[in-house]
A and B are shown apart, each in its own frame.
Chain A
Amino acid sequence: MSLNITCPICGKRNGYEFRYGGEDRGPRPEEATLTPEAWCRYVHMNRSVAGVQREWWVHRDGCGLWFSIDRDTRINVQVMAPSTDGQEGDR
């Protein structure tokens, strides 16, 4: 499936160079107060939106940086900023 990703260091590259790191769920929760349910939500539950989602990628075959992008999951295109209609893709 075709995807291009813009790495903050290396620039726009073929998606094959990157590995997906999941949806952006925010920093790790505090361990002391964490219930099993909250832990499960943080670790396993995806929102799987049809639209723009913020997610993590690593430039595995490049600089090795972890960074987050916004991607429109309906057309599989990285978008510059979250937009509601998702049509303005950065290609």
Chain B
Amino acid sequence: MNRLHHLKTSKVHPGERRTLRYRGREVAGLEGDTVATALYAGGVRVFSRSLKYHRPRGLYSLDGESGNTLMAVDGVPNVSAEITPLRAGMRVEPQNVKGTPEFDVMGFMDGLSWAMPAGFYYRMFHKPAAIWPRVIPQLRRTAGLGTLKPDFEMPGRFEEVYLKTDVCVIGGGPAGMLAALAAADRGLRVILLESRPWLGGFFEYREHPYADGSSLHDRSADLERQLESRPNLRIMKHAPVVAVYPTLQVTAFQRGADSASFDERYPEIQAQSIVVATGCIERPLLFENNERPGVMQPSCAHRLARTWGILAGERAVFSVGNDLGIEAALDLANLGMGIACVTDVREDGQAPQLLDELSSRSIPFMRGWVPVKAHGCRSVKAVTLSPVNGIRQKKVECDLLAASAGLTPSTGALSLAGARFSYDSLTGFFLPSTLPDGVHAAGRLLGLQDARAIEISGTEAGLRAAGDCGMDVAETLRTLADEQSTLPGPVRNPKLVMGPVKGSKTFLCFDEDTTIKNVSQSMEMGFDVPELIKRFTAAGTGPSQGAVPGHNLALFVGQSHESPDTEPRPTTVRPPLHPIHLATYAGAGHGMSKCTPVHALQAAAGGRMEKVGVWSRARRFSDEKSAHDEILNVRQNVGILDGSTLGKFRIHGPDACKALQRVYVGDMSRIREGRIKYSAMCNEDGCLMDDGVVVKRGENDYFFTSSTARAGSTIEWIRYHTRYDGWDYHLVNLTDAFGVINVSGPNARKVLQKVTDFDLCNESFPFAAYREIEVGGSIPARAMRLGFVGELSYELHVPSSYMESAWMLVEEAGCEYGMKPFGLEAQNVLRMEKGHVIIGSESEQRTTLHDLGMGFLWHRNKPDARTVGAAALIHTEHQEDRLKLVGFKMQPPADRPPKDGSIIVDGVIRGYVCTARLSPALGEVVGMALVDEPLSGIGTEWSIYEDECQGKLLGAVVAPMPFYDPEGLRMKM
């Protein structure tokens, strides 16, 4: 197609070809095209097939008001081609067709529409129940939108931004631009959101004269220049609003230009005041085959020519409802389109100069006429016209039918902000009757049509928004009101939305294939108000968020039926106003993790670093998955572990002990200085949340640890459970302030003694003791002698800044003993051999302290502490039918462990395997499982079912824990 290249309003660059692939063939578009305009220029007229009836659908709108142009682009389904910028090399495929969009095998469905009345799905899909499992997959194949491969990965760069501003203006048309200017000129911070990739709204593409003799296009460009010169005004183009909340928060979905740092972005804007200037969309005219390819909005035809240089047809019929439509017909005639005739649903009220121009160009003009039927199979060939009263008919041949019943205000954003609407009989609009505080409306959605009146309403709204932000604007507002009173106010719009038709092929909602006949059927069945009709017929619930049926449904019902709703009311609007990808909500997903102070040393030593929770940790130090050698080296010699991820805290103050008593199940009132108290925290249900050690460093001054996973929430937890008490204590999170070096194994003492003067013998530093020592003569370390992996073991808490030095000192000392680092895998197996649980692995949400066999930690004689979980521990202590944690071995012995999570069966499911590993120290498989209490006795035999075991069960027997060194002698060596 030859484009019109000479237009000032054009957004395409004639020299810049961009080629896409559509159904295997190349279609050449231009830089600045959307996918839809490129396809249209390339001759494509049928873009998709409709949801239920597989009717052909074409380009109808340009702002995503209909789902007609939903296509699969680069593997992403349901992409609205009319709002998606063309990029070179795009692969575009039609959706919901068997064959091609032009020749769809499923096209016969349209002939069966009589068999699919309103509420078809609800009324048919129950009896007989037996057939539906077979039928539903067939229906799914014929009805629907695009398909997504389960392994599809969404390409692109995604971002989220959270912004605060004084004023947020929604809509970058003339009213929105002036509102933004008015607020910005008061020194306020302003964000302007515009859904199209450029500003200007309905000024931008029109050469119609503006008040001072220049064109509206020039005016729009001039305003844009002014806006761009304001440093306190941020313009976000191509950013349709997704939602507005009563807290004056606005969210949007922004597409990035080629030069931007993102492809798609989710801005969330907190404003003090909001101006909504979203303007109008065309109000669809209802007639038979009103969605046939070749039928489009007059503004769509107009913008195709003015913005993209495309003449949408050679012989067009225009059926309009306002002067904008006549202007479009005249402008297109000037650009070379043949106009067969212009009909206007209005009997009068047209601007005289427009009528003069029509007659000077000999274009027939028919007042009070409307189309009743579009003819043509795959695209419009002719249209039957009739006066509104239906008394006569006339058939006119054409290849384009630009049809509209006037305008419908875009009230979605205003509605979400909390505005209420009432029907206005002059404009035929739903106009805001009450606006919440901080929300202002401006421009065409108020029914204004005069360019200057729209601009002043914008300035007014911007000033009111400035008033919300504390500016004194009363005087200026009075002057503006005077000027506005001299200008034309809201204009009359046609009320009629439908020609004289029966309506079985008259579509109220294109997305869901809802005809006005369906609406009548719904009314007959008692679903007689728009909210119910919407749900029963699905009108307005499709991907374009109800833009086409939006107000027409309520108006049609109000005019043509006896609805209990005496006043027409729009149906409730809910977010999202505009579809947004989940990938965009998900954002960039930066892979961030915390590193311990000796991260670099660990990595240099061959640590296989993995993200575990918020941390990057060494899983193992060789490729051997079982970490066999690391484990044996700890058991037989000595190993060193980076335990810096442990939660570490200080609590001090007069009520510190009370707070510890509240959250720990043990008795924290009798911790001797220099001793370690091991205890646990439960939740209110008596389930284990955390375990750790507490040491007393002074009067009312404690140092305690939590598990790695709980490091971030322990302070919140303690404060929550003491929130009513008003206790005087202070909590400090020392997790990042201290690193932890754990040295474990029979030779641990020998290694450590080389780096400290403190006597580490059993007498001066016994098991379960806490000492403050110095490493390397000067590095302070809080040393604990713990069981941990069941060997002689020292844990050194060292200030983070000293960690590398301390680590290297210990490592050097360990050289002569063959000390090796060990990682998380080895730690877990070592601890499992000792029967230590990992919370969340050996316990689940219902597992109490008793179930884990750790009830001995609970000190029951402190009711005054009102310990968290104590009540539940009392009630569940002797409860029956609980899952209990037990140890098991394989019987007969097996050379490999069952998979974690395997199910324990005894005719029925009786429990599951939590963890099982081949124990290097014991040379056999050991594991822990949660099982029904009757199966928990030592020596009880089970069968274990593994996924995909094909009936071959494994055998196991309950074994006492700990598996390794049950007397606990080795850690006291």
A58→B712 CA distance, assembly (Å): 13
Please measure, in the bound complex, the distance between the C-alpha atom of A32 and the C-alpha atom of B864, giving whole angstroms. Answer: 8
Query: What is the distance, in angstroms, from A27's C-beta to the closest C-beta of chain B?
Result: 4
Q: Provide the bound-state CA to CA distance between A2 and B251, in Å.
A: 9
Contact indicator A26/B715 (Cβ below 8 Å): no
| Docked-complex contact B716 and A64, CB < 8 angstroms | yes
Alpha-carbon separation in the docked complex, A84 to B153 (Å): 49
In this complex, what residue of B is CB-closest to A89? B246
Does residue A77 face the partner (Cβ distance < 8 Å to B)?
Answer: yes
| A39 cross-chain contacts in B, Cβ below 8 A | 871-872, 875
* Contact indicator A91/B723 (Cβ below 8 Å): no
Complex interface bits, B527-541 against A, C-beta within 8 A gives 1, otherwise 0: 000000000000000
In the assembled complex, B162 has its CB within 8 A of some CB on chain A: yes
Q: What is the distance, in angstroms, from A15's C-beta to the closest C-beta of chain B?
A: 8
> Which A residues are CB-close (under 8 A) to B270?
4, 14
Most buried by A among B720, B870, B871: B871
Q: Does B94 contact A (CB under 8 A)?
A: no
Q: Give every chain B residue within 8 A of A29 (Cβ-Cβ).
A: 866
Which B residue's beta carbon lies closest to that of A13? B270
A11 within 8 A of B: no
- Which residues in A have their C-beta under 8 angstroms from that of B245? 1-2, 76
Is A27 a contact of B724 with CB atoms below 8 Å?
yes
Among B162, B247, B418, B724, which residue has the most Cβ atoms of chain A within 10 A? B247
Interface size counted on chain B using CB atoms at 8 A: 30
Instruction: Confirm or deny: A45 has a beta carbon within 8 angstroms of a beta carbon on chain B.
Output: no
Q: A19-B716, A60-B716 known; A77 and B247 CB under 8 Å?
A: yes
Pair A3/B247 contact, Cβ less than 8 Å:
yes
A66 touches B719 (CB 8 A): yes
For residue B872, which residues in chain A have a CB less than 8 angstroms away from its CB? 39, 43
CA A57 to CA B13, docked complex, whole Å? 55
Given the complex of chains A and B, what is the CA–CA distance between A39 and B873 in angstroms?
A: 12
- Judging by beta carbons under 8 Å apart, are B875 and A31 in contact? no
Q: Does A34 reach chain B (CB closer than 8 Å)?
A: yes
Verify B871–A77 contact, CB threshold 8 A: no
- Who on chain A is nearest to B863 by CB? A31
Cβ–Cβ < 8 Å partners of A30 in chain B: 863, 866
* Binary per-residue interface labels of chain A (69-87) against chain B in the complex, 1 for a CB within 8 Å, 0 otherwise: 0000001110000000000
Q: How far is the CA of A22 from the CA of B725 in the complex (A)?
A: 17
How far, in Å, is A61 (CB) from chain B's closest CB?
11
Distance in angstroms from A9 CB to nearest chain B CB is 13
Is B701 located at the chain interface by the 8 A CB criterion?
no
Is chain A's interface secondary structure helix, strand, loop, or mixed overall?
loop
In the complex, A28 Cα to B724 Cα: how many Å? 8
Q: Which of A27, A31, A65 has the most CB of B within 10 A?
A: A31
- Chain B residue nearest to A39 in the complex (CB): B871
- CA separation between A91 and B326, bound complex, in Å? 46
A21 close to B (CB within 8 Å): yes
Q: Determine the distance from Cα of A77 to Cα of B715 in the docked complex, in whole angstroms.
A: 27
In the complex the two chains form, what is the Cα distance from A91 to B249 in whole Å?
A: 10
- Residue B684 CB within 8 A of the other chain: yes
Please, how many angstroms separate the alpha-carbon atoms of A77 and B720 in the complex? 23
Considering the chains assembled together, what is the distance between the CA atoms of A89 and B437 in angstroms?
10
Instruction: Given A36-B875, A64-B715, answer yes or no on A91-B247 (Cβ-Cβ < 8 Å).
Output: yes
Cα(A3)–Cα(B268), bound, Å: 12
Whether, in the assembled complex, B804 has its beta carbon less than 8 Å from a beta carbon of chain A, the answer is no
Q: Are B162 and A14 in contact (CB under 8 A)?
A: yes
| Chain B, 861-880, CB within 8 A of any chain A CB | 863, 866-867, 870-872, 874-875
Interface size for A (C-beta < 8 A) is 29
Residues of A within 8 A of B720 (CB): 21, 56, 58, 66
**Complex CA–CA separation, A20 to B781 (angstroms):** 38
In the assembled complex, the CB of A44 is this many whole angstroms from the nearest CB of chain B, namely 8
- Among residues of A, the one whose C-beta sits closest to the C-beta of B731 is A64
Nearest B residue to A58 via CB reads B716
CA separation between A32 and B715, bound complex, in Å?
Answer: 27
Q: Taking the complex as formed, is B668 at the interface, i.e. its CB lies under 8 A from any CB of chain A?
A: no
A6 CB to closest chain B CB, in angstroms?
12
Chain A residues with Cβ below 8 Å from B887 are none
A39-B875, A77-B247, A91-B247 known; A31 vs B723 contact (CB < 8 Å): no
Q: Judge whether B246 and A91 touch: CB under 8 Å.
A: yes
Min Cβ gap A7→B in Å is 14
B839 CB, nearest partner CB in chain A, Å? 20
- The chain A residue sitting closest to B715, CB to CB, is A64
User: How many Å lie between the Cα of A43 and that of B876 in the bound state?
Assistant: 15
Which residues does chain A contribute within 8 Å of B863, judged by CB atoms? 30-32
Contact partners of A14 in chain B: CB under 8 A: 162, 270
- Could you tell me the distance between the alpha carbons of A65 and B867 in the complex, rounded to whole angstroms? 21
Residue contact B715 to A91, C-beta cutoff 8 Å: no
Q: Does chain A have a CB within 8 A of B577?
A: no
A-contact 0/1 string along B843-885, CB 8 Å cutoff: 0000000000000000000010011001110110000000000
Chain A nearest CB from B586 CB (Å) reads: 15
Complex interface bits, A28-70 against B, C-beta within 8 A gives 1, otherwise 0: 1111101010010001000000000000101010001110000
Instruction: Please give, as numbers and ranges, the residues of chain A lying within 8 Å of B247 by CB-CB distance.
Output: 2-4, 76-77, 91
Complexed CA–CA distance, A26 and B725 (Å) = 11
Determine if A43 and B684 form an interchain contact, defined as CB atoms under 8 angstroms apart: yes
Q: Which residues of A sit under 8 angstroms from B866, Cβ to Cβ?
A: 28-31
Contacts of B509 in A (CB 8 A): none
Instruction: Output the least CB separation between B848 and chain A (Å).
Output: 14
Determine if B685 and A43 form an interchain contact, defined as CB atoms under 8 angstroms apart.
Answer: yes
B117–chain A nearest beta-carbon distance, Å = 37
Note all chain A residues with C-beta closer than 8 A to B867: 31
Q: Does any Cβ of A come within 8 Å of B823's Cβ?
A: no
Who on chain B is nearest to A12 by CB? B270
With the chains together, A84 CA to B525 CA distance in Å?
39
- Cβ of A2: which chain B residues have Cβ within 8 Å of it? 243, 245-247, 249, 251
User: How many Å from the CB of A79 to the closest CB on chain B?
Assistant: 12
Answer yes or no: B182 CB below 8 A from chain A CBs: no
Alpha-carbon separation in the docked complex, A76 to B685 (Å): 29
B438 within 8 A of partner (CB): yes
Residue B248, interface by CB 8 Å = yes
Query: Using Cβ atoms and an 8 Å threshold, which residues of chain B touch A27?
Result: 724-725
Expressed in whole angstroms, the Cα–Cα distance for A21 and B863 within the complex equals 24
Docked pose: A41 CA to B246 CA in angstroms:
33
In the docked arrangement, what's the CA distance between A2 and B516, Å?
Answer: 37
Interfacial residues, chain B to chain A (CB-CB below 8 A): 162, 243, 245-249, 251, 270, 418, 437-438, 684-685, 715-716, 719-721, 723-725, 863, 866-867, 870-872, 874-875
Contacts A/B (CB < 8 Å), 26 sampled: A1-B245, A2-B243, A2-B246, A3-B247, A4-B249, A4-B270, A21-B723, A26-B724, A29-B866, A31-B867, A34-B871, A36-B875, A39-B872, A43-B685, A56-B723, A58-B716, A58-B719, A65-B719, A66-B716, A66-B719, A66-B720, A66-B723, A75-B418, A76-B247, A91-B248, A91-B438
Please report A residues at the B interface, Cβ cutoff 8 Å: 1-4, 14, 19, 21, 26-32, 34, 36, 39, 43, 56, 58, 60, 64-66, 75-77, 89, 91
Q: Identify 15 new A-B residue pairs, CB closer than 8 A, beyond the known A39-B872, A58-B719, A66-B716.
A: A1-B245, A2-B251, A21-B723, A26-B724, A28-B866, A30-B863, A31-B874, A36-B875, A39-B875, A56-B720, A64-B715, A75-B246, A76-B247, A89-B246, A91-B438
Give 8 closest A-B pairs by Cβ, nearest first: A2-B245, A2-B249, A27-B724, A31-B863, A43-B684, A66-B723, A39-B871, A2-B247
